[in-house]
């Protein structure tokens, strides 16, 4: 499969805690992206990190990329109940014009 794989599949935390999700992939990439999906809705783009970048921040989000290990992590700090959603990593593989999505991490933030 060309998909990335997220770990864990599901995560449940208390409001205010940090949430970390991991993504592993198999091929060389141009960039890696993270998306969020609320139940019954379309995916929403969160952040894009290029293959020559190691870390990127956006608000409460921090993404790291280790191309030598073919892995990425998404950290959500000070989580809120509204962060409850599924989170997907997607890879833009070298030479391809589309994204390959992982199977997602289901995050539940308990108020």
The binding site for other proteins (CB under 8 A) comprises: 2-3, 30-31, 33, 35, 40-45, 48, 88, 90, 92, 97-104
Smaller CB separation from other proteins, 14 or 98: 98
**42 within 8 A of 101, measured Cβ to Cβ:** no
Which residues on neighbouring strands pair with residue 11, listed in sequence order? 107
Q: How far is the CB of 88 from other proteins (least distance, A)?
A: 7
Return the SS3 of 9: coil
Cα 30 to its chain centre, rounded Å, is: 16
Tokens for 20?
A: 């970390």
Q: How far is the CB of 97 from other proteins (least distance, A)?
A: 5
Q: Do 72 and 79 touch, CB atoms closer than 8 A? A: no
By C-beta, is 44 or 78 nearer to other proteins?
44
Q: Measured from the CB of residue 48, what is the shortest distance to other proteins in angstroms?
A: 6
Nearer to other proteins, 43 or 75 (CB): 43
């Amino acid at each position: 499969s060309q998909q990335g794989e997220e770990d864990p599949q599901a995560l449940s935390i208390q409001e205010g805690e940090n949430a970390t999700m991991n993504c592993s992939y198999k091929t060389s990439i141009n960039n890696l992206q993270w998306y969020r999906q609320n139940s019954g809705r379309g995916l929403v783009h969160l952040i894009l990190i290029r293959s020559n970048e190691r870390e990127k921040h956006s608000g409460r989000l921090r993404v790291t990329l280790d191309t030598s290990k073919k892995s990425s992590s998404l950290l959500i700090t000070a989580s809120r109940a509204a962060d409850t959603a599924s989170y997907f990593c997607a890879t833009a593989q070298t030479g391809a014009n589309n994204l390959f999505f992982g199977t997602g991490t289901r995050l539940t933030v308990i108020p």
